[in-house]
Amino acid sequence: MSINTRGRAVRRAVTAATLATLALGAAACGSSGGDPLVKSSSSPAGGPSAAAGDSAGSTVVVGSANFPENVLLGSIYSQALKAKGVKVEEKFNIGSREVLYGQLQNGSLTVLPEYNGALLGYLDAKATAVTKEDVNAALAKTLPATLGLLDSASAEDKDSLTVSQDVATQYNLKSISDLAAKAGEFSIGGPPEFKSRREQQFKDSYGLSFKEWKPTGETTANALKDGSIQVGNVFTTDPKIVQLKLVSLADPKNLFGAQNVTPLVNKAGVDAKATAALNAVSAKLDTAGLTDLMKRVAIDKEDPSVVAKDWLKANSLS
């Protein structure tokens, strides 16, 4: 993903400066040390404290990464908040997690649609949690005190290593383990940051060393189909998997753990009303529904904001 940082603080200057100081302090401690966040029906994991009501009336800034599904999710969050009378500013297509996380810490952003397992892997490369519950518990201990998770949706968009049907058939590939004998001859593609995030993990878990890493981004599925790469990081809700007859390989060692769609928030910027609106989205969003929405965005080329509006209306959230 390209990095295109932008955005301005939306709180008063003194508050923004205070948050930035706290966030930098937390980052200097390795993004850890915050009190464990206890999930309950009244205060989700990392949810706003009682003092968060003081933020009522302020603007909630919803950000997103620069890939279509995350923009769609950002639009769903934004419109769900607006429907409940929350003032919202949208800052979509910003860049990768490496950029977004810092902006959430310093208060430039208030809410991000995240994927819990991917976020944990970013914060702790040695994390071993696999299930949604274990991942969220680990995140509660790892996130700085200024940030928190709201409820995770059942909707899950996992990373996968995917190949074309021809490659799967030719080399009898069914799982990532089957790549070991051929990885040295294969080119692998994915988002620009995919190599730095995953190369060592593939070596450690599966003994894989690929011939070449290519930053294929949103074109990964097409690159698999045309043969310019043999293996690609394609997200499991990508409708091109079915459209192009691709094969996502099994992950027997659970390198890709749970990746449930989860709102990540700067706790000072969300109150009870915003929390309830976002948790209501999570309660309705499932994997099949997200995959259907992504077909409209990625294949039918519909505007993500229109697709988001339709989904919210269909689920009585607007």
Q: What is the pTM of this model?
A: 0.70
Q: In the structure encoding, which two tokens stand for residue 70, read together?
A: 């995350």
Q: Contact, 315 vs 284, CB < 8 A?
A: yes
> Do 231 and 267 lie in a common domain?
no
Pair (188, 277) in one structural domain: no
For residue 75, being part of any structural domain is answered with: yes
List the CATH number of the domain containing 198: 3.40.190.120
Burial 172-207 (b: 16+ CB within 10 A, else e): ebeebbbbeebbeebbbbbbebbbebbeebbeebbe
Structure-block tokens of residue 204: 């450690």
Pair (48, 89) in one structural domain? yes
Measured CA to CA, the distance from residue 198 to residue 194 in angstroms comes to 6
Together in a domain, 269 and 226: no
Distance from C-alpha of 258 to C-alpha of 156, rounded to nearest angstrom: 7
* Structural domain count, the chain: 2
2 within some domain: no
Quick one: 57 and 76 in the same domain?
A: yes
Residues 96 and 204 in one domain: no
Render each residue's pLDDT in the chain as its tens digit; 318 residues: 433 333 333 333 333 333 333 333 333 333 322 222 222 222 333 334 333 444 446 999 999 999 999 999 999 999 999 999 999 999 999 999 999 999 999 999 999 999 999 999 899 988 889 999 999 999 999 999 999 999 999 999 999 999 999 999 999 999 999 999 999 999 999 998 899 989 999 999 999 999 999 999 989 999 999 999 999 999 999 999 989 999 999 999 988 889 999 999 999 999 999 999 999 999 999 998 999 999 999 999 999 999 999 999 999 999
Q: Does residue 113 share a domain with residue 33?
A: yes
Domain end point (choices 223, 248, 273) = 248
CATH number at residue 30: 3.40.190.10
Assess if residue 8 is contained within a domain.
no
Would residue 177 count as lying in a domain? yes
**Domain check: are 46 and 133 in the same one?**
yes
The domain in which residue 144 lies consists of: 13-156+258-314
Is 237 in the same domain as 273?
no
Question: Are 148 and 280 in the same domain?
Answer: yes
**Residue among 118, 107, 111, 68 at smallest CA distance from 87:** 111
Domain boundary among 228, 248, 268: 248
Please indicate, yes or no, whether residues 151 and 235 belong to a single structural domain of this protein. Answer: no
Helices (H), strands (E): how many in the chain? 12, 10
